[in-house]
Amino acid sequence: MQEWEAESPLIIAKGKGTYLIDTEGRKYLDGTSSIWVNIHGHRHSRLDRALTTQLRQIAHSTFLGLSNPPAIRLARELIRLAPKGLRRVFYSDNGSTAVEVALKMAVQYWQQRQPSAGSKQSFLHLKLAYHGDTVGAVSVGNIELFHARFKALLFPTVQVDPPYCYRCPLSLTYPACHMACLDPLETLLKTRHRDLAGVILEPLVQAAAGMLTAPPGYLTRVRELCTKYHVLLIADEVATGFGRTGKMFACQHEGVTPDLMAISKGLTGGYMPLAATLATEEIYRAFLGRYEDWKTFFHGHSYTGNPLGCAVALANLDTFRREKTLVHVRQQTKLLARLLRPMASLQHVGDIRQCGFMVGIELVQDRQTRQPYPLEQRIGHRVAQACRVAGLLLRPLGNVIALVPPLSTKPRELTTMVAILHQAIVDQTEGKTSLL
Ligand SMILES: *Cc1c(COP(=O)(O)O)cnc(C)c1O
């Protein structure tokens, strides 16, 4: 806060399309999609209209014991679009709560299914995972800087190394490695499955860890192992959902259906806080019973199923259809890859990772040894500040520059974003201005 105050904070007053406009009237390209939530741009007429139309009906009524038309319609749409087999929707209001719901549901499911397996109460997750900032979500996460101080509050978990190929913990190379990093996962499932309720992971991309992309087939193999050892697979699609990776959900790249799936960020196109946890029919049925069987899932939030959020989420999904957003993203993904290519030869760019419209550029002090920059040098922050001066807003993940444009970003805007970023990296890492 001390430094932020000294840096003259940026106050965003307005937005339009891919641009944010501050209180001084300066325009910036939104290179983070307002932290990975925006899909079709700011002030999209269809999404704006959906909100004002719903406002004329009602802004909010509780979802506890009641329902509302936009929430019902949205649940139906989500089931239609989700990986096949996910049949039930439980609403909440942000990504962290969607994860909390999945964890609690998994634990209660094992107690109530027939035959019951009440000993299954722990979770296995990947190191460097990020699943949100509430205490349960932090427990299954593992980003030292965010989490270390709260160790005393967290429940114990089982962890394995993630598929971070650029810094492979086994010093192997894909595909020759045959994904040997999955061996410890299988060993733990084999020995611990009686205690394990679920495996939670971010499918395809560990986003907050620095856009770590998993090799093809990794997710499929985790699904197979979870099935084999009777452990639920919980997919956290909060960042990867809603077209971000080029498919509606990342799991669909590998035809995988998780048992539980958490969604939020892109759900409302970046308009309103809303989230959901999707479950299979099998899980849903374990919660049915007479009142005195006490099978209720005791979890609800004041703004669960908020009609404004659900109405704008419906308009968001409708816009995917009308504007063929997924086709656009897949085309622009290729352009983005082409634009990024020259960056790969920069002296301090170690690795460029891309999955659809999620990009992570890992800066290193030394390309040969892959020596990272010391965090206190704040190289990512310095690059982001240089981009800001040139009219592009980014938010780094440590030494990784994350570029996550709205899915509607136009080719020329993508070109401008990458040009600004390229120049900023050169200036901040090579300490001189190069000709672009
Ligand atoms: C952002 C994020 C969350 C947390 O969502 P919030 O809405 O910020 O609580 C959880 N999981 C992943 C993968 C995320 O990227």
For ligand 1, atom 5, name the residue with the nearest CA. 95
Q: What is the mean pLDDT of residues 319-339?
A: 98
Q: Is the pLDDT of residue 435 over 60?
A: no
The answer on pLDDT for 117 being more than 80 is yes
Q: What is the pLDDT of residues 171-212, one digit of tens each?
A: 999 999 999 999 999 999 999 999 999 999 999 999 999 999
pLDDT in tens, 227-282: 999 999 999 999 999 999 999 999 999 999 999 999 999 999 999 999 999 999 99
For ligand 1, mutation pick of 131, 133, 139, 143 (most atoms within 8 Å of CB): 131
Q: What is residue 108's predicted lDDT score, i.e. its pLDDT?
A: 98
Residue 238 near ligand 1, beta carbon < 6 Å: yes
Indicate the fold that domain 2-30+324-429 takes in CATH.
Answer: Aspartate Aminotransferase, domain 1 (3.90.1150)
Domain boundaries along the sequence of the chain: 2-30+324-429, 49-322
Give the CATH class of 49-322: alpha beta
For range 394-420, the mean pLDDT? 98
Average pLDDT, the chain: 96
**pLDDT tens per residue across span 339-363:** 999 999 999 999 999 999 999 999 9
Burial class (CB in 10 A: 0-12, 13-18, 19+), 341: exposed
Which pLDDT does position 432 carry in this prediction? 57
What average pLDDT does the segment 12-35 reach? 98
> What does the pLDDT look like over 283-299, one tens digit per residue?
999 999 999 999 999 99
Residue 313 Cα to ligand 1 middle (Å):
17
Q: Residue 290, by phi and psi: left (phi above 0), alpha (psi -120 to 50) or beta? A: beta
Q: Closest ligand 1 atom to the C-alpha of 202?
A: 13
Q: Which residues contact 334 (CB under 8 A, 6 or more apart)?
A: none
Residue 146: pLDDT above 80?
A: no
Q: Return the SS3 of 1.
A: coil
**Binning pLDDT at 50, 70 and 90, where does residue 434 land?**
very low
**Residue 34, pLDDT score:** 98
Residue 123: both structure tokens together: 């979770």
∠ Cα 291 293 298 (to 5°): 70
CB 279 within 8 A of CB 88: yes
The predicted model scores a pTM of: 0.97
CA 32 to centroid of ligand 1, rounded, Å? 14
Query: Does residue 94 have its Cβ closer than 6 Å to ligand 1?
Result: yes
Question: What is the atom index within ligand 1 of the atom nearest the CA of 94?
Answer: 7
95 Cα to the center of ligand 1, angstroms: 4
Mean pLDDT of 324-346: 98
How much distance in Å is there from the Cα of 239 to the middle of ligand 1?
Answer: 6
Is residue 9 scored above 90 in pLDDT?
Answer: no
User: What are residue 364's DSSP bridge partners?
Assistant: 372
